[in-house]
């Protein structure tokens, strides 16, 4: 084995509760990343699929954000209850979970309707 077959980055950015862009991990506990990591470990997949803590992925308005490389599939509003489905359907089965995938036109664009105030 060498490079990870799938590398999952789970945003652990915590901001002030009043921050206008929101925060992917309001409690700062990293529960979503731990849930991915624990489940992958249970399934014996932790050496080929890595659930990585990440700093801000800059799609805060759509958070909690999860990003899967090498295919660059971005997920938004991911909850603990979605972890198993993402693992089974996408990371194991190769089929992204369509209902959670961020539309291309929402990523890094000023025009995204969910992103009224984009940092320059």
- Nearest distance in Å: CB 56, its own copies: 7
C-beta of 39 vs 50, nearer to its own copies: 50
- Nearest distance in Å: CB 69, its own copies: 4
CA distance 66 to 33: 9
- Nearest distance in Å: CB 10, its own copies: 9
What does the binding site for its own copies look like in residue numbers (CB under 8 A)? 1-4, 7, 9, 12, 33, 47, 50, 52-58, 67, 69-72, 74, 104-105, 107-109
Neighbours of 53 (CB within 10 A): 15
C-beta of 15 vs 53, nearer to its own copies: 53
Please check whether residue 90 is in contact with residue 100, taking contact to mean a CB–CB distance below 8 angstroms: no
C-beta of 47 vs 114, nearer to its own copies: 47
Write phi, then psi, for 85 (nearest 5 degrees).
-65, -40
Residue 120 pairs in a beta bridge with: none
Kindly report the length of the chain.
120
CA distance 49 to 47: 6
C-beta of 99 vs 119, nearer to its own copies: 119
């Amino acid at each position: 084995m060498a490079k990870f077959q799938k590398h999952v980055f789970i945003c652990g950015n915590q901001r002030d509760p009043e921050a206008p862009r929101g925060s992917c991990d309001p409690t700062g506990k990293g529960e979503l990343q731990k849930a991915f990591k624990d489940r992958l470990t249970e399934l014996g997949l932790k050496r080929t699929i890595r659930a990585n803590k990440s700093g801000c992925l800059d799609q805060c308005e759509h958070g909690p954000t999860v990003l899967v490389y090498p295919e660059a599939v971005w997920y938004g509003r991911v909850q603990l209850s979605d972890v198993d489905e993402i693992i089974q359907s996408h990371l194991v089965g190769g089929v992204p979970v369509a209902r959670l995938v961020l539309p291309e036109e929402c990523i890094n664009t000023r025009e995204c309707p969910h992103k009224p105030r984009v940092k320059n």
